[in-house]
Structure 1
């Protein structure tokens, strides 16, 4: 197998066409985070971004988007905010992870949202843990989705919808609003919520906002930044910025106006979104790994997402593994003490602002 490493902007029109065909051929690869548009947007802001093009007999058979860091440490492209990772490939392709890493100049590749069907990586590597990623299944249509929900969830949501309509105004969903003013509002709401919870505010970083805005309203069927807005009367009460492909709506940044928190506007938005998405042929809404009250209420299934790494037998890989183990120890210690955690988040945010 021949491997050519490129910067994302060096992909040709033929590459983009082959990449899209591979995604359409395998539902497990349909996630917009695996699309070339996402890789190119990250590449415009991260000098470490690369794409390996895999060829056999002169025919392109796969693409591996990644980031290359010091000591040959590899991460998924968009590491830290990429919710689906792996090698985009032709159906039935088998590959040697060690040979792929060698060709990419990597000693080790660490992942935390490995997509389904990436068997060679899992077999050759060290999967640390499998994590549930809740989804809203729409492949049977909107009515079937509602039938899968717990009755008490639906009853509570309908009661909240009636109260919100009575107190503020009738509800209306814009599946996608291209209004940049509303996008700025979402960023302000979400940043405020992240800071109030003592979490790192990725939306407060100019380089990330540039990626988000590049993908916003992108005329692409494989990856388009989508701003869904729930209105009550004339007031936007909840919004969601996600990435959309033909079949998958991957939620990214859900948020709401805290003045309307008592009405559970986020849950109401997702329920309205399910109906609009099903009408457009989207088969599932991927809410991302991890648990929360609204995800537990709205999900009808869980995808299995793997965290782990795959490495070569080299001194560089050993150094990367030692650093990873050290990082996990530090993170565990920090997360165990709320005051230390908040101080660490403030320090990281200050560095981000300086950058």
Structure 2
């Protein structure tokens, strides 16, 4: 059948100039693909670094109709750059009917794990991501609109800026910083944060650190990654690593000086980044998945994505059911452990390229889940007072 959807799995470097031109055209003309993660540049750079990197090339009637960049971990398939890739889907023209389920069937993994799928599909659950879309008045227009809606919140941030300046000196922000040592410092701060929180350290595997460095150091005219840095007086108070392409800016990895939390340096840095980048033509600032309280005061737009694990029928699904049954047999504690492991497993699997690494990560997650459960049981219940 000439309209049958077929796939060829290739290395990114095997795509010829005509295929790359299609990719660039579709990612720049399909509004659903506006995120920097859909750019050919992201895939080209990430494919050099990510273990198991490949591209699924979809064809109908001999013609290319879509691309899906991904990585393999044993029998599992994930988006290229997972667990750090916030948006993923098929790079295709507007109106494409290639579904999540089509991709899972054709790439032939035991399972396809996608936390932020853009495009057609019915498997999984909907999640929301949030953005700031600057109005015609640019940053000043956005700020006036937000301050009118949330006066108390933004007056508090104005006081925080004055307090920071009074304590340490006037604040300054530098954008488009590409300093490898500073990026390493930020990564170390994030890694320590993950460990304190009992989460899997996504940077311990090494290649994730290398990916951020590769993205930052490969400067391109309409695509890149860089640091924004805020100082107050002589003290560095906040850093953020972001990905940007065209008029879209994706906030990615933030960190701030915890002793100055009362002055909200991380939030002030995001605001100043929007002001400066907005003056240079950026119009959309993506804050990723909704959840953190501060985002509701900032954002004026929302996207719906799908979080899904698409399982192939047969042995893989049976083994997962068996594992769930074993954990469930442990009773109430086993159920709590299973819920915690399920949330963490996709991150561990994506980070760890070797079976031994995945096993170590799973064991650490199990220990953390047990410790948290034990801690909750030891915590006395609060007594309400009239």
TM-score range, shorter-chain basis? 0.7 to 0.9
Match of 1:136 among 107, 132, 140: 132
* CA apart distance, 1:2: 4.2
Distance 1:262 1:350, change over 3 A: farther
Distance 1:50 1:326, change over 3 A: farther
Match of 2:98 among 95, 98, 105: 95
* CA apart distance, 1:17: 2.4
Q: Is the 8 A contact 1:139 1:284 kept in 2?
A: no
Gaps of 5+ in 2: 349-359, 366-386
CA–CA distance in 2 between the matches of 1:75 and 1:114?
Answer: 11
2:148 matches 1:148: no
Q: Counterparts in 2 of 1:167-316, with a 5 A limit?
A: 167-221=167-221, 223-310=223-310, 314-315=313-314
CA–CA distance in 2 between the matches of 1:23 and 1:178?
Answer: 26
* CA apart distance, 1:209: 0.9
Distance 1:7 1:321, change over 3 A: farther
Q: Counterparts in 2 of 1:15-164, with a 5 A limit?
A: 15-71=19-75, 73-95=76-98, 100-115=103-118, 118-119=119-120, 121-122=121-122, 126-127=123-124, 129-140=125-136, 141-149=138-146, 150-164=150-164
* CA apart distance, 1:52: 1.2
SS of match in other structure, 2:112: strand
- Which deviates more, 314-323 or 103-112? 314-323
Deviation string, structure 1 residues 77-102 (Cα, Å, up to 9, x no partner): 22222100111101222236555444
Q: Is the 8 A contact 2:90 2:98 kept in 1?
A: no
CA–CA distance in 2 between the matches of 1:164 and 1:217?
Answer: 32
Number of aligned residue pairs = 338
Deviation string, structure 1 residues 88-133 (Cα, Å, up to 9, x no partner): 1012222365554444233542311112xx12x23xxx22x22222
The runs of at least 4 aligned residues of structure 1 exceeding 6 Å deviation read 323-332, 335-338, 349-352
SS of match in other structure, 1:44: helix
Q: Is the 8 A contact 1:3 1:53 kept in 2?
A: yes
CA–CA distance in 1 between the matches of 2:320 and 2:222?
Answer: 34
CA–CA distance in 1 between the matches of 2:322 and 2:35?
Answer: 30
- Give TM-score, length-normalised by structure 2: 0.76
SS of match in other structure, 1:288: strand
* CA apart distance, 1:57: 4.9
Deviation string, structure 1 residues 42-77 (Cα, Å, up to 9, x no partner): 433444222112234554332111233444x33222
SS of match in other structure, 2:177: coil
CA–CA distance in 2 between the matches of 1:336 and 1:110?
Answer: 17
Deviation string, structure 1 residues 254-282 (Cα, Å, up to 9, x no partner): 00122322211011011111112212222
Distance 1:154 1:42, change over 3 A: same
Distance 1:290 1:99, change over 3 A: closer
- Which deviates more, 48-57 or 16-25? 48-57
CA–CA distance in 2 between the matches of 1:320 and 1:81?
Answer: 27
Q: Is the 8 A contact 1:33 1:85 kept in 2?
A: yes
CA–CA distance in 2 between the matches of 1:27 and 1:250?
Answer: 16
SS of match in other structure, 1:172: strand
SS of match in other structure, 1:204: coil
CA–CA distance in 2 between the matches of 1:45 and 1:76?
Answer: 14
Equivalent position of 2:384 in the other structure: none
Kindly name which structure, 1 or 2, has the bigger radius of gyration based on alpha carbons.
2
Q: Is the 8 A contact 1:178 1:217 kept in 2?
A: yes
RMSD (Å) for aligned C-alpha atoms: 3.3
- Give TM-score, length-normalised by structure 1: 0.83
